[in-house]
Amino acid sequence: MYISAADNMNSYLDFVSSLAKSTVEAKSLPMGNLPPCTRPQLAPDAPKALFFAPHPDDETIQGGLMLRLLREAKWNAINVAVTQGSKKERQTERYEELTEACGYLGFGLIQTAPNGLEKVTPKTRDTDPALWSQMVKVIADILAQNQPRAIFFPHDADWNGTHIGVHHLVVDALRTLPADFITYCVETEFWGQNDTPNLMVEYSEQDVADLMAGTSFHVGEVKRNPYHILIPAWMMDNVRRGAELVGGQGGAAPGFVFGQLYRLRKWTGGKLENVYEGGRNLSKDENAASLFQ
């Protein structure tokens, strides 16, 4: 039941009620089955950005900065399907959904194995070094073949075992590459908040709507839990946190509505190094490529 402010002295009630009403109504919007977004023409030597996704749907939920690089800087944005989920009976279907989601946003797609890698967790890293080494080589080969300007992967405390596993898998793979291998590393967050982000990226309403629509292509997942509808609320809370975590305690908050928090560092000389002191806010009016110069 939605109550108007006329029946209540709280002047914020209409605002909250409209949010609740819109959220409920959005659950009936189409899932997937949309024509692809316009993809810019890319140069043959366009810089590459690789998103190492722990699961199908991470590329659409957390891939906003990669989407901006594709659209604003004409980078070649490619999702790497590290796993295809843990349910074997769904792995083929999830890859099909992932293919459609990437096609919608304009992302390329790399498959790590016919059904994705398995057991990508800290436990495997600790107890099965042979299997872990095989998976590290898969990731290292992808890095070496693509020579990306930037890579995306979860931070090391992102709660979910596979997310944390992918963090260590990518970093372990980087350690096996030649000492002159250089790339920017953008650590994402979703399940577990990053205590030390140094970058907040603003998104336009169009960006957010496209990320929501892209996530809706993962039909088998969002049918049981329509989490794609909550992406705007999550991004608004990111702005709340980022105002001080990135901007500095007690600092003036940027006028962002939607945003995402990242930790940006550079892999150089065989280790991760900071690229700047303090934090940075990237507005929707700046070209995202300015972060990687």
pLDDT, tens digit (0-9, with 9 covering 90-100), for 233-244 = 999 999 999 999
pLDDT at 31 over 90: yes
How confident is the model over 6-23, as pLDDT tens digits? 566 888 999 999 999 999
Strand partners, 108: 78
| Mean pLDDT score, 179-198 | 97
As a whole number of angstroms, the longest Cα–Cα distance in the chain is 68
Instruction: Kindly tell me if the per-residue pLDDT of 138 is higher than 60.
Output: yes
End-to-end Cα separation, the chain, in angstroms: 52
**Percent helix, percent strand, percent coil in the chain, to nearest 5:** 45, 15, 40
Range in 10-14, 32-36, 139-143, 165-169 the model is least confident about:
10-14
Give the integer Cα–Cα distance in Å for 78 and 165: 20
Do 259 and 245 contact (CB within 8 A), yes or no? no
pLDDT value of position 217: 98
Mean pLDDT over 220-239 rounds to: 96
Provide the token pair at 197.
Answer: 């982000």
Asked whether residue 3 carries a pLDDT value surpassing 60, the answer given is: no
Q: Which domains does the chain show, CATH number per domain?
A: 48-268+277-285 (3.40.50.10320)
Residue 293: pLDDT band (50, 70, 90) is confident
pLDDT confidence of residue 252: 83
Q: How far is it, in rounded angstroms, from Cα 62 to Cα 53?
A: 9
216, HSE (Cβ side, Cα atoms, 13 Å) = 21
The overall average pLDDT reported for the chain is: 95
Q: What is the pLDDT of residue 4?
A: 55
d(C-alpha 143, C-alpha 211), whole Å: 25
